Homo-oligomer: A and B are copies of this chain.
Amino acid sequence: MSKRRPSIGVFDSGFGGLTVLKALLEVIAGADFIYFGDTARLPYGSKSVDTVGAQLLVIACNTATALALDRITAATHVPVIGVVEPGADSAAAVSKNKRIVVIGTEATVSSQAYSKALAARGMQATEKACPLLVPLVEEGWVEHPVTKQVAGIYLGEAFQGEFEDADVLVLGCTHYPLLKPLLQSVAPAHVTIVDSAESTARAVARRMRALLPQVDDGEDERRAQARLKFFATDSVEKFQRLGQRFLGRSIEGVQHVDLKE
């Protein structure tokens, strides 16, 4: 039986993907996680994953998954998991009336990646761009009355017409899990929220079990302790300060990388 620790690369364009890392830490014990907050240079950066020896790469950003998953998959030699397919799987499993509302950034919504993934599962989806939610989360206003109003306006526009009784709301942006309680309070009462960060973490756990069958063996405490490394191309100070709200724990030892070299 191999004693090799699972090693997972997590990629994002900033710190939003830390909500995916948080979900991963809850379902996968004793792995090495290498997080790249790699502002907008994902395909380039994927070479870094090969060099740090990750056995699997998670694209922990909806926009990057929607726009660049194929290119990233082609550029690396390990399995790559994005957030859209797992999110669509969960939404399809939960929905009873097969009508689903997806919220995300403008770029994610324009790509229609979720609509296509959900259509392939027999679901009908409407996608709503919510460009103010990311800056509101970054401002720290996750329980603020202004945010509640803004979310109310966006969800009001999404849950209407033939989607008035949609029964699933997919959080198609890794910033949105911080707004989950607020969104639950604003969405129609019958709606189930699907967080693609959680869905992705479960998909990664399944994949890692297949890759490394010993992951579930409960070997010892050394294994149970996750190890985290962070690389940021932007301001390290900002990454640490904002990032801890996303990860739900303090962030230390962020290394700055300059991918222009």
Task: Please list the residues of chain A having a beta carbon within 8 angstroms of any beta carbon in chain B.
Answer: 131-132, 134-136, 138-139, 145-146, 149-150, 153
Contacts and interface: CB of A to CB of B under 8 A. Distances in A.
A132 B138 CA distance: 9
Nearest to A134: B135
A132 B145 CA distance: 14
A106 to B, nearest CB: 9
Contact of A149 (B131, B138, B146): B146
Main SS of the interface on chain A? helix
Contacts of A135: 131-132, 134-135
Contacts of A153: 146
Copies of this chain held together in the complex = 2
A160 to B, nearest CB: 19
15 contacts: A131-B135, A131-B138, A131-B139, A132-B132, A132-B135, A132-B136, A132-B139, A134-B135, A135-B135, A145-B149, A146-B146, A146-B149, A146-B150, A146-B153, A149-B149
A141 to B, nearest CB: 8
A135 B149 CA distance: 15
A46 to B, nearest CB: 19
A32 B150 CA distance: 41
Nearest to A147: B146
A17 to B, nearest CB: 20
- The interface centre, meaning the residue of A132, A134, A149 with most chain B CB atoms within 10 A of its CB, is A132
Contacts of A139: 131-132
4 smallest A-B Cβ distances: which pairs? A135-B135, A132-B135, A146-B149, A131-B135
A150 B136 CA distance: 10
